[in-house]
Amino acid sequence: MNGLLASMLGAVSQGLIWSMMVLGVYITFKLLNIADMTTDGAFALGGCVCATMMLAGLDPTLALICGSLAGGVAGAVTGVLHTFFGIPAILAGILTQISLWSINLRIMSDKSNQSVNKIASDITFWVYKLGITQSQATLIVGLIVAIALIAILYWFFGTELGAALRATGNNEDMIRALGVDTNHAKLLGLVIANVLCGLSGALVCQSTKYADVGMGTGAIVIGLASIVIGEVIFAHARNFAMRLSSAVIGCVIYFVIRAVVLRLGMKANDMKLLSAVIVALALCIPVAMQKYRAAKSYRERVSEDEEATDALEQKEA
């Protein structure tokens, strides 16, 4: 039982620090209607920059900020390629993501991974201050950062600039007709989203105590799975803060599902397959249900029409 509780605590804490990346994916995928493939590379970039800065003796909080800003730069590159040079968003993201593999290796002095196990971090600060475990400290940090980000994003997207950004993804032609520069809005959205991805990668680096150039592989799939899970659970949520919260909660649930499946004996190498299946089912089931309801409604109308016709014929006879 203790092992189960420990694994669940670890899953929740990891879900919280990965949820910053999910919020970034939510901004691009749901608000801007852009499939941004920069996510995987920006996540790893944040972790690699954070580890390198910590090894150089920089304060861990400043290292987190540097990792976040590095992710924002990656998002800006994708945004410039897409908005100013007309490259399709998905291709621009792929180009940036591919280039970041080499850049991350350069940042870590051509090493595929770097350990920061013996360096103090924002997470170990709580470990020593409160005398708690690494998972519990990660849970505290993740919860604080997640709540703060939801509050900041809720405020920002309620401003005129944030509303213009949301409107760009909802109806680009309309908002452009109102005089908003949609290219600048997309660029800003991509930067903000990848700042969150970089922050998440930096937090994961401090939590796991190492950075790896491949640590962001599959992050976009995890983000989409978390968003879909959150939307299924909070299907009737109308408040924007609740929608942001649903993405965070969806990420936590996703990691809890992973932990349960691993304890049931599934191989860790099959996690990518599990993620893909979760996303596929979550996307396919609502469509299948909608088609089923439409077909059922059609059959009921046909049946009612046939009954009305039969009744009319009997009356005439």
Whether residue 180 is found in the same domain as residue 277: no
125 with 143, same domain: the answer is yes
Do 155 and 244 belong together in one domain? yes
Q: Do 288 and 218 fall into the same domain? A: no
317 residues of the chain, pLDDT tens digit each: 466 777 888 899 999 999 999 999 999 999 998 889 999 999 999 999 999 999 999 999 999 999 999 999 999 999 999 999 999 999 999 999 999 999 999 999 899 889 998 898 889 888 888 888 888 999 999 999 999 999 999 999 999 999 999 999 888 888 888 888 899 999 999 999 999 999 999 999 999 999 999 898 889 888 988 998 888 888 777 789 999 999 999 999 999 988 888 887 777 777 778 777 877 877 787 788 888 888 888 888 878 777 777 777 777 66
* pTM for the model: 0.89
**34 plus 100 within the same structural domain:** yes
Q: Are residues 204 and 92 in the same domain?
A: yes
- Domain end call among 228, 243, 266: 266
Q: Is the domain of 21 the same as that of 146? A: yes
| 77 and 115 co-located in one domain | yes
| DSSP letter for each residue of the chain | -HHHHHHHHHHHHHHHHHHHHHHHHHIIIIIS----TTHHHHHHHHHHHHHHHHHTT--HHHHHHHHHHHHHHHHHHHHHHHHTT---HHHHHHHHHHHHHHHHHHHTTT-SEEE-TTS--HHHHHHHHHT--HHHHHHHHHHHHHHHHHHHHHHHTTSHHHHHHHHHHH-HHHHHHTT--HHHHHHHHHHHHHHHHHHHHHHHHHHHTEEETTTTTTHHHHHHHHHHHHHHHTTT--SHHHHHHHHHHHHHHHHHHHHHHHHTT--GGGHHHHHHHHHHHHHHHHHHHHHHHHHHHHHHHHHHHHHHHHHHHHHH-
Domain tally, the chain: 2
Query: By residue range, what is the domain housing residue 287?
Result: 272-317
Instruction: Give the domain CATH number at 74.
Output: 1.10.3470
